[in-house]
């Protein structure tokens, strides 16, 4: 900018574009998006999409390998398990549990943890100490021990899994968001908003929430993987989803004892878990960049 | 319609190795900021300048004493009076990189104070944004950009536009140009002077840059460890500083003269601490003229014959003749 009066000319190219133009699809992680869409379709479509009944026993067809192996058939693309159930069908059916657990658990633990974190960080003092002490007490209890208590007192199943995960993960959000807010509330633009006469609610939603959004998004997408694996561990231990329902974790658990001669039974749901986690992390990174004005490429 | 600090104190309790202690950040400050003038607070870092600004902006509550606006203490104001005070008193902060929310467009940044008090229609609001941007010398198209798309000087202009949005009477300038490049300081300084003249603003200027203070202010208050040690019209203070601390402060200003050899700053290695302020006059451990009485008695801020005020045993009371 030149001295005194002449400001830098702002050209037409600098003017903002409408959001849909700005929402550039070039450079989007298409493969991860595709994988997540497939998982969602599987979760919504469920048993309507499966080539076989996911619970249909066919002992004559037990331990069929995937189609590309000599003994495999195109009828069972990813092979069958010890009871002759189609692995592909069970993965599709299990996607519903994984998706439901991930969505609910992340939504609730994220909302509870973020709100408590903002309140603790913004108000400080005794409110902060109370919330953080509760979070620390919770963190001293191992997640699986908590899960054991809950499944002993409640019926094991989908809702118990979600409750256990929410109770386990809210502290995660709470602590990280609190520390972000601690630094944000000292920013001059928060001071200025107070000087301008804005109330706490306005400051929350205009200055704090958008600026912790990056962190929140990264935490949430990282948590997709952790939640799916947590659900898998609970189901693996028999504390989560109960047969005849299925989930990816339960499939791992069922197929574990046959791993030496039917590797596909445990590998295929494992790959499904891995791809879903990886995809959600990559899509999360992309979304974070897309929504950050500094990184937005025009 | 000025601002008045009456016996203002702000103490913070902190935890140290020896247990709890009190930091006396601001201690019994009396200061008037008459309408239309620029009063500067100068002093070293940590002397309490910014705390005074925060007290005046109601970002902190005083431990004792009061900030009076229109003769009324901020602590006794009703909700609607506070809202009115918020309209009258605005601020520009030091770091233009920290004072603008990176997630908001310039338009939303500038309209924030307006929307906190009024609900104008879109056309009026946009016209006001364009007007404010023009005042601070930015193009109207800047309204839809984000802060990171501007340089430091341009960002500070945005911050000034935001401070002007409500047509305030008083603007508190906390180190308004010290974070900027030397090359653009003059422009922002000129802008501040222009808008003061145009809108009849009152400034409370917090600065450590004495050249800026000399240029901008009509009155100067020199702060040492939370208390005013010398206060008076700008020309008086700069042409003939009376308090030893003011003299030392002015002496420390670099001069554009290669042959100038600064006087040795004897005894100036010991920076005072607001945590354990020295007894008597807080400046005595660093003062080249310290006398026995300085260690015992804290000198009051008294009027000197030429109208300024100073707090020093050398200048007032029975010891005055020795200077």
Rounded Cα distance between B128 and B19, Å, is 53
> Is A4 part of the contact surface with chain B (CB cutoff 8 Å)?
yes
Rounded Cα distance between A176 and A170, Å, is 10
Specify the pLDDT at position B263: 64
Cβ of A14 within 8 Å of Cβ of B145? The answer is: yes
- Assign B191 to helix, strand or coil: helix
Q: Assess contact for B232 and B200: CB atoms under 8 A.
A: no
Task: Please write the tens of the pLDDT for every residue from B71-80.
Answer: 888 888 888 8
For A26-53+86-295, CATH gives 1.10.3720.10
Residue B30: which H helix or E strand, with range? strand B19-33
Q: Which residues of chain A make contact with B153, given a CB cutoff of 8 A?
A: 1
Specify the pLDDT at position A298: 43
Q: Assess contact for A42 and A49: CB atoms under 8 A.
A: yes
> Is A189 part of the contact surface with chain B (CB cutoff 8 Å)?
yes
Q: Is the dihedral of CA A96, A99, A104, A105 positive or negative?
A: positive
Say which residue, B117 or A294, is predicted with more confidence: B117
Average of per-residue pLDDT across B50-70: 89
**Percent helix, percent strand, percent coil in chain A, to nearest 5:** 70, 0, 30
Which residue bears the tokens 């338009």?
A: B107
Q: What is the ipTM of this complex?
A: 0.81
Task: Please write the tens of the pLDDT for every residue from B299-322.
Answer: 888 888 888 888 888 877 666 554
- Angstroms from A224 CA to nearest CA on chain B: 26
Its pTM surpasses 0.90: no
Specify the pLDDT at position A14: 47
CA neighbor of A170 nearest in space, from A207, A134, A197? A134
- Assign A28 to helix, strand or coil: coil
Helical segments of B118-227, H only: 122-135, 152-164, 182-199, 210-216
Task: Please write the tens of the pLDDT for every residue from B170-204.
Answer: 999 998 888 888 888 888 999 999 999 999 999 99
Cβ of B141 within 8 Å of Cβ of A14? The answer is: yes
Question: Over 70: is that where the pLDDT of B62 sits?
Answer: yes
Say which residue, B292 or A75, is predicted with more confidence: B292
Task: Please write the tens of the pLDDT for every residue from B130-178.
Answer: 999 999 999 998 999 999 889 888 999 999 999 999 999 999 999 888 8
Q: Which residues of chain A make contact with B58, given a CB cutoff of 8 A?
A: 194-195
Q: Find the CB nearest B83 among A14, A197, A207.
A: A197
Q: Which residues of chain A make contact with B187, given a CB cutoff of 8 A?
A: 1, 3-4
DSSP state of A86: B
Specify the pLDDT at position B90: 93
Rounded Cα distance between A229 and A161, Å, is 12
Q: Find the CB nearest A293 among B59, B103, B153.
A: B103
- Angstroms from A37 CA to nearest CA on chain B: 29
Q: Assess contact for A46 and A99: CB atoms under 8 A.
A: no
Task: Please write the tens of the pLDDT for every residue from B209-256.
Answer: 888 888 889 999 999 888 898 999 988 888 888 888 888 888 877 777
Residue B78: alpha-carbon gap to chain centroid: 26
> Is A207 part of the contact surface with chain B (CB cutoff 8 Å)?
yes
Specify the pLDDT at position A89: 86
Q: Which residues of chain B make contact with A1, given a CB cutoff of 8 A?
A: 151, 153-154, 184, 187
CA distances from B236 to B157, B230, B241, B268, B304 (A): 31, 11, 7, 24, 12
Q: How many CB atoms lie within 10 A of CB A288?
A: 17
- Written as six digits, the tokens of B31 are 């200061």
Rounded Cα distance between A276 and B240, Å, is 75
Q: Assess contact for B249 and B268: CB atoms under 8 A.
A: no
Rounded Cα distance between B73 and B90, Å, is 17
Average pLDDT, chain B: 86
Domain boundaries, chain A: 26-53+86-295
Bridge-based pairing state of the strands B309-310 and B227-233: antiparallel
Rounded Cα distance between A252 and A274, Å, is 13
CA distances from A36 to A30, A42, A59, A95, B286 (A): 10, 10, 33, 11, 69
Question: Residues in chain B, how many?
Answer: 323
Q: Assess contact for B74 and B68: CB atoms under 8 A.
A: yes
Direct distance between the N- and C-terminal alpha carbons of chain B, in angstroms, rounded to an integer: 38
CA neighbor of A286 nearest in space, from A224, A207, A214? A214
Exposure letters A142-179 (e unless 16+ CB within 10 A, then b): ebeebbeebbeeeebebebbbbbbbbbbbbbbbbbbbe
Q: Assess contact for B28 and B227: CB atoms under 8 A.
A: yes
Q: Give the number of C-alpha atoms closer than 13 A to the C-alpha of residue B260, restricted to the C-beta side.
A: 9
Rounded Cα distance between A64 and A77, Å, is 9
Residue B320: alpha-carbon gap to chain centroid: 30
- Angstroms from B90 CA to nearest CA on chain A: 6
Q: Is B152 exposed, middle or buried (0-12, 13-18, 19+ CB in 10 A)?
A: middle
Q: Assess contact for A208 and A184: CB atoms under 8 A.
A: yes
Q: Which residues of chain A make contact with B151, given a CB cutoff of 8 A?
A: 1
Specify the pLDDT at position B169: 92
- Angstroms from B138 CA to nearest CA on chain A: 6
Q: Which residues of chain A make contact with B144, given a CB cutoff of 8 A?
A: 15-16
Cβ of A294 within 8 Å of Cβ of B146? The answer is: yes
Give phi and psi for B57, each to the nearest 5.
Answer: -90, 5
Q: Which residues of chain A make contact with B142, given a CB cutoff of 8 A?
A: 10
Q: Which residues of chain A make contact with B95, given a CB cutoff of 8 A?
A: 188
Rounded Cα distance between B282 and B225, Å, is 7
- Angstroms from A43 CA to nearest CA on chain B: 35
C-alpha dihedral, A108 to A110 to A112 to A115, nearest 10°: -150
Give phi and psi for B181, each to the nearest 5.
Answer: -60, 145
Which residue bears the tokens 């046959």?
A: A258
Specify the pLDDT at position B264: 56
CA distances from A78 to A44, A279, B101, B106 (A): 21, 21, 52, 56
Task: Please write the tens of the pLDDT for every residue from B93-108.
Answer: 988 888 898 889 999 9
CA distances from B63 to A104, A122, A149, B27, B46 (A): 48, 22, 51, 9, 18
Cβ of A294 within 8 Å of Cβ of B93? The answer is: no
Scanning every residue of chain B, which has its alpha carbon at the shortest distance from the alpha carbon of A207? Answer: B101
Specify the pLDDT at position A21: 47
- Written as six digits, the tokens of B281 are 């006059």
Q: Find the CB nearest B137 among A7, A14, A293.
A: A7
Exposure letters B191-228 (e unless 16+ CB within 10 A, then b): bbeebbeeeebbbbbbbbbbebbbbbbebbbbbbbbbb
- Assign A197 to helix, strand or coil: coil
Task: Please write the tens of the pLDDT for every residue from B6-55.
Answer: 888 998 888 877 778 888 888 888 998 998 899 999 988 778 888 999 99
Q: Which residues of chain B make contact with A187, given a CB cutoff of 8 A?
A: 98-99, 101
Q: Find the CB nearest A196 among B112, B149, B184.
A: B112
Q: Which residues does chain A have with pLDDT short of 70?
A: 1-26, 294-298
Residue B38: which H helix or E strand, with range? strand B38-42
Helical segments of A23-142, H only: 30-45, 87-123, 125-140
């Amino acid at each position: 900018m030149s001295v005194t009066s002449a400001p830098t000319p702002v050209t037409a190219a600098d003017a903002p574009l409408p959001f849909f133009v700005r929402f550039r699809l070039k450079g989007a992680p298409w493969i991860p998006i595709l994988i997540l869409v497939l998982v969602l379709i599987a979760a919504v479509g469920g048993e309507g999409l499966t080539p076989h009944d996911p619970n249909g026993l066919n002992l004559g067809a037990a331990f069929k390998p995937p189609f590309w192996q000599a003994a495999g058939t195109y009828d069972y693309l990813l092979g069958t398990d010890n009871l002759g159930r189609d692995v592909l069908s069970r993965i599709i059916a299990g996607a519903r549990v994984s998706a439901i657990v991930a969505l609910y658990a992340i939504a609730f633990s994220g909302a509870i943890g973020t709100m408590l974190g903002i309140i603790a960080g913004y108000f400080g003092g005794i409110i902060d100490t109370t919330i953080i002490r509760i979070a620390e007490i919770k963190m001293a209890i191992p997640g699986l021990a908590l899960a054991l208590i809950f499944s002993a007192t409640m019926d094991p199943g989908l809702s118990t899994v979600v409750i256990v995960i929410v109770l386990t993960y809210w502290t995660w959000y709470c602590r990280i968001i609190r520390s972000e807010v601690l630094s944000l509330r000292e920013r001059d633009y928060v001071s200025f908003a107070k000087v301008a006469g804005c109330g706490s609610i306005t400051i929350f939603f205009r200055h704090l929430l958008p600026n912790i959004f990056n962190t929140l998004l990264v935490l949430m997408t990282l948590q997709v993987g952790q939640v799916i694996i947590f659900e898998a561990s609970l189901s693996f231990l028999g504390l989560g989803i109960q047969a005849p329902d299925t989930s990816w974790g339960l499939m791992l658990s069922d197929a574990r004892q046959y791993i030496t001669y039917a590797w596909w039974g445990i590998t295929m749901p494992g790959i499904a878990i891995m791809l879903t986690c990886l995809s959600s992390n990559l899509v999360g990174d992309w979304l974070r960049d897309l929504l950050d004005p500094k990184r937005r490429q025009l | 319609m000025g601002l008045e600090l009456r016996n203002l104190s702000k103490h913070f309790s902190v935890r140290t190795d020896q247990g709890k202690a009190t930091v006396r950040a601001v201690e019994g400050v009396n200061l008037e900021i008459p309408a239309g003038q620029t009063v500067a607070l100068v002093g070293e870092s940590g002397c309490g300048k910014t705390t005074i600004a925060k007290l005046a902006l109601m970002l902190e509550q005083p431990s004792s004493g009061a900030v009076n606006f229109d003769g009324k203490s901020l602590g006794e104001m009703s909700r609607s009076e506070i809202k009115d005070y918020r309209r009258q008193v605005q601020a520009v902060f030091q770091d233009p990189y920290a004072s603008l929310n990176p997630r908001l467009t310039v338009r939303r940044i500038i309209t924030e104070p307006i929307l906190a008090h009024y609900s104008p229609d879109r056309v009026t609001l946009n016209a006001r944004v364009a007007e404010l941007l023009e005042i601070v010398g930015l193009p109207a198209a800047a309204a839809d950009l984000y802060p990171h798309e501007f340089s430091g000087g341009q960002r500070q202009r945005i911050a000034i536009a935001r401070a002007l949005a409500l047509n305030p009477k008083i603007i508190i300038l906390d180190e308004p140009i010290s974070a900027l490049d030397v090359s653009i300081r003059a422009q922002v300084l000129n802008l501040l002077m222009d808008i003061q003249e145009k809108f009849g603003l009152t400034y409370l200027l917090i600065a450590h840059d004495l050249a800026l203070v000399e240029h901008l202010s009509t009155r100067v208050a020199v702060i040492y460890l939370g208390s005013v040690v010398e206060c008076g019209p700008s020309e008086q203070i700069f042409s003939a500083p009376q308090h030893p601390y003011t003299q030392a402060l002015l002496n420390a200003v670099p001069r554009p003269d290669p042959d100038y050899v600064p006087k040795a700053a004897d005894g100036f290695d010991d920076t005072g601490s607001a945590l354990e302020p020295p007894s008597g006059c807080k400046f005595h451990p660093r003062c080249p003229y310290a006398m026995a009485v300085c260690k015992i008695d804290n000198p009051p801020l008294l009027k000197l014959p030429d109208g300024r005020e100073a707090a020093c045993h050398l200048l007032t009371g029975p010891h005055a003749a020795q200077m």
